[in-house]
Structure 1
Amino acid sequence: MATAAVVVTGSTAASAANTAYVFAYFTETPNMSGANYGLHLAVSRDGLNWSPLNQNNPVVTPTAGTRGLRDPFILRKQDGTFVVLATDLNGTNFGENNQYLHVWDSTNLTSFTGYRRVRMHGLNTHTWAPTAFWDAARGQYGIVYSANNGSDVLMVNYTSDFRTVSTNQVYFSPGFPVLDGDVVVDGSTFYLYYKNLSTGLLYGARSSSGAANSYTTYTSGLRQGNAIEAPLLVKNNEGNGWRLWGDSFSPVNNDFYAWSSSNVGGNSWAALNQRDFTPPLNAKHGSIVGISSAEYDALVSRWGLPNWVRLKSSNFPDRFVRHADNAGRLDTYPMEPFQDQMWRMVPGLADSAGVSFQSVNYPDRYLRHSDYAIRLDPNDNTATFRADATFYRVAGLADASWSSFRSYNFPDRYLRHANYLLRIDPLSASSSASDRQDATFRITP
């Protein structure tokens, strides 16, 4: 990539040709069956709906320290290449202090080189949730992370090469404990979003210099759900808006919430409806960076898109189609076993122009209707089973950009949920708005 095309804006560093995004994260699930502390990547064209790469397996895993990571952060450097930083922690032993960060270099995120651990300080404390930004006045990068020097603060070290770093110093200590800073430079303004541990809310601060302890908080506190942390500030590739993400941090709750604003310098964040975005499956505390179309294509070519899908409800967007005790259901995400919501959408068993839903974790079983109720049953290869398990995908009855599924052998009936159970019922364009929403789903990885 030509370095002249690169415009660095902190954690959303992007080139002028950026048309897509990449998301770095680790994974956890409610009972930790899906926990993996390697570097995961997902891609998106719109920055809202994400497709995990490498079948949601890690693309690289640390080989030193704890041999695991949390909180991966991707920065596009001044030369157009990337650096990846991450917390050195394998699991959830948050009492385990560590003075190091994991670091990799990468040209375009299709391979990772130069793996090392960089010592950030000599304190008996943690080194969590790194973020990094270009400080033009210094001619160096700042690496900001959470630590404790008697109080929870944000520390900073400066570097030119992400190998040798300056002595650590306190970067943000506003008089109350803070966690999870994200720094973004936009024009001549430095924005720092963080969690106030006293209130449990996310706030935004800003500075004209980016110097240590020069920030002034300018937003009201933000929270969605029961708890939130890990603010992630992203400038849209189109340059006409911003998004702020927050992680629920509990694997038993919704993993991410999001806000949008047309003016990052204002105090006007609007919560996004969960039907407007779908984070990567099982993703936790990550980072997002803009990429070009060529970089998007290279990532997909190298790591591959999912060979499975999920079905997200239109009117209950925190719920996904899953099987449980062989019944088709609509349940809240996240769930266990997490594979119960994963399907291979294959050519229809009765008509290849239609579709059938093959279970990922029970591949001999398919969704089918029986007495109009949806079940997960083994394929006995009878004509009746093939017909019951075949649907025609059509424009969503409640939203034409989503999908509805018409029964092959009962063509006036559609797949829908009722009291969170799946069935097929007669529906049409004249059905009630609620019924049409019950039969509308987003196909997403």
Structure 2
Amino acid sequence: MATSRRRFLALAAATPLAVTGTLSLGAGTAQAADSAYVMSYFTESTSLGDGTDYGLHLAVSQDGLEWTPLNRNNPVVTPTEGDLGLRDPFILRKQDGTFVVLATDLKGTDWTYVSQYIHVWFSTDLCTFTGYHRLKLHDMNTHAWAPEAFWDAGRGTYAVIYSAVNDTAHNVIMVNHTTDFLTASEPQVFFDPGYDVIDGDMAVGVNGVNYLYFKKNQTLVGARSTSLDPGSFTEFSTAVAHGGTEAPELVKSLTSDSWYLYGDTYTPNGVFYVWQSGDLSTGTWTALDQKTYTQPVNSKHCGIRAITSAEYAKLLTYWGTPSSNRLKSYNHPARYIRHADFVGRVDEYPIDPYLDSEWTLVPGLADSTGVSFQSVNYPTRYLRHYDYQLRLDAGDGTSTFAGDATFYRTPGLADSGWTSFRSYTHPTRYIRHADHVLRIDPISMATDRQDATFRVGY
């Protein structure tokens, strides 16, 4: 049986998980016990200031689309060798059921730094990490970018793929083989179509076919092969992109035959976009509405792996969740509630500074059954209405301020799975956006209901 890259693909039958019977699954097919996902990533804010961290970050999800950052979106482990930072982290579940984490050896954006090494950690549960070291992959004067790995059952080894410039003078995808992630074989060219390719991502053994997705000319493209031999993959898919897009991540749904393809814009504080396909063999993808997914704030170059419900629960308990929330607009899902010059607005992600869009939802100042929106970066200030427009003001201890800053959560007026907020002092009015500015208004039309509906997430 084969496993593959940061998606939640197949696991070996002999794992410590409580799985009965004999499993014969190809990578890309989640084993029966898997019911959730873990994402690995690093963070970069737009200004490369607050919110930027080149350690290993984790988030969890039950559907692979809506994510909860762990450890309050702080790193869970950070490299202590090489450039003392990482990019492009990847999680693989090994054949024994434990995890190995791989990552690029680079802190920040000094593209002149060259490392032939990658970072490596081992973990039984992604709560504690052991055996940290760097693994050397080659002797070329070029970096080892965006490492990933998969189980090559025919060879009985793990294949580590990564991007590098070899003697062809353009980026290719290289491969080394290893049994223990402590030593590796000599490098080989795994995929070289004759033009620059980076960020390889594999799905192994899907109905007898192996799929490799990669970045080509700022788009995401797929190749396939019935073997895992170097040089055997042939490009076949339709390219997808949203602006300049990189870091493809193939994700198998745990509840249907669908696949998701994640991509990341390559600017700091990149934006994730997601496409869906019902059949990998077609090579065609449909863009998902941004209402259906939310990336962890400031996340870059994600990797995604299937986990069990017990692992999901343990990660939440061990690391904890953020103490603040972000609120996404229903009909403008690229936009989030934020304050700017102390005016309430919905603006497009990424938001700089990102803390302008972070809120602590506290018990209502006028009624504890309601909520008040406390600013994270101005914690003495709350979102309140004044002449029906929302602004960020300092609490003055009066009952008038408390009432103006208190709202009741209700099922979303446009979608009951989302949330709307009714004013405490004007119970016929709800928070809504109009020309991207927040107000409290009566709601009557379908557009009004959409303007007044938000997702409370992270």
Quickly name the TM-score band, shorter chain normalised: over 0.9
- 2:201 paired with 1:182: yes
Corresponding position of 1:107: 124
Query: Letter of the aligned partner of 1:322 in structure 2?
Result: R
From 39, 42, 45, the equivalent of 2:56 is: 39
Among 108, 114, 120, the alignment partner of 2:137 is: 120
Pairing 1:159–2:178 present: yes
Query: Counterpart of 1:404?
Result: 420
Matched-pair contact (CA < 8 Å) for 2:30–2:252 = no
CA distance in 2, matches of 1:87, 1:7: 32
Q: CA separation in 1, counterparts of 2:388 and 2:339?
A: 16
CA distance in 2, matches of 1:394, 1:100: 52
CA contact (8 A) 1:7 1:14 kept: no
Following superposition, the deviation at residue 234 of structure 1 comes to 1.0
Report the equivalent of 2:12: none
Work out the CA distance in 1 between the residues paired with 2:70 and 2:341: 30
Question: What is the rounded CA distance, in whole Å, between the counterparts of 1:14 and 1:140 in structure 2?
Answer: 20
TM-aligned CA deviation for residue 151 of structure 1: 1.6
Contact conserved, 1:3 with 1:79, CA < 8 A, in 2? no
**Matched-pair contact (CA < 8 Å) for 1:15–1:292:** no
Q: For the Cα contact (< 8 Å) 1:41–1:53, is it kept in 2? A: yes
Secondary structure of the 1:295 match is helix
Q: What is the TM-score of this pair, normalised by structure 1?
A: 0.96
The answer on 1:203 being equivalent to 2:221 is: yes
Any conservation in 2 of the 1:8–1:77 contact (CA below 8 Å)?
no
1:220 to 238, 246, 263: 238
Structure 2 alignment gaps of length 5 or more: 1-14
1:85 lines up with 2:102 in the alignment: yes
> 1:387 pairs with 403, 417, 430, which one?
403
Q: Would you say the 8 A contact 2:238–2:284 is kept in 1?
A: no
Q: 54-63 vs 378-387, which deviates more?
A: 378-387
Percent identity over paired residues: 56
Match of 1:24 in 2: 40
1:2 correspondence with 2:16 = yes
User: Once superposed, what is the RMSD of the aligned Cα atoms?
Assistant: 1.4
Report how far residue 7 of structure 1 moved.
6.5
* Structure 2 CA distance for aligned equivalents of residues 170 and 286 of structure 1: 24
- Mapped partners of 1:143, 1:3: distance in 2: 25
Instruction: Give the letter aligned to residue 197 of structure 2.
Output: V
Match of 2:335 among 304, 315, 319: 319
Tell me, what secondary structure is at the counterpart of 2:369?
coil
Q: State which of 239, 242, 250 in structure 1 corresponds to 2:267.
A: 250
- Whether the 8 Å CA contact 1:8–1:78 is kept in 2: the answer is no
Residue of structure 2 equivalent to 1:329: 345
1:293 equivalent in structure 2: 309
2:445 to 432, 437, 441: 432
Q: How many residues align?
A: 437
Task: Give the Cα separation in 2 of the matches to 1:130 and 1:323.
Answer: 39
2:68 counterpart (27, 51, 61): 51
CA offset digits 1:339-360 (Å, max 9, x no partner)? 1100111111111111111111
Q: Residue 447 of structure 2 aligns to a residue in which SS?
A: helix
Contact map agreement 1:251 1:334 (CA 8 A) in 2: no
C-alpha distance after superposition, 1:181-214 (max 9, x if no partner): 0011124221100111xx3221111111111010
Task: Return the offset for 1:9.
Answer: 4.8
The TM-score with structure 2 as length reference comes to 0.93
Partner-residue secondary structure (3-state), 1:399: coil
How many angstroms does 1:93 deviate by?
1.1
Q: Which amino acid aligns with 2:78?
A: T
For 1:410 and 1:4, the matched residues in 2 are separated by 54
Q: Counterpart amino acid of 2:192?
A: S
After superposition, the Cα gap between the structure-2 partners of 1:4 and 1:405, relative to the gap in structure 1 and judged at 3 Å, is closer
Question: In structure 2, how many angstroms separate the alpha carbons of the residues matched to 1:271 and 1:71?
Answer: 23
Letter in 2 for 1:360: V
Match of 2:280, SS state, is coil
Q: How far apart are 1:379 and its partner, in Å?
A: 1.1
- The equivalent of 1:340 in structure 2 is 356
The question of whether the paired residues in 1 share the 8 Å contact of 2:39 and 2:305 is answered with yes
Indicate the residue corresponding to 2:379 in structure 1. 363
Name the counterpart of 1:169: 188
Amino acid at match of 2:392: L
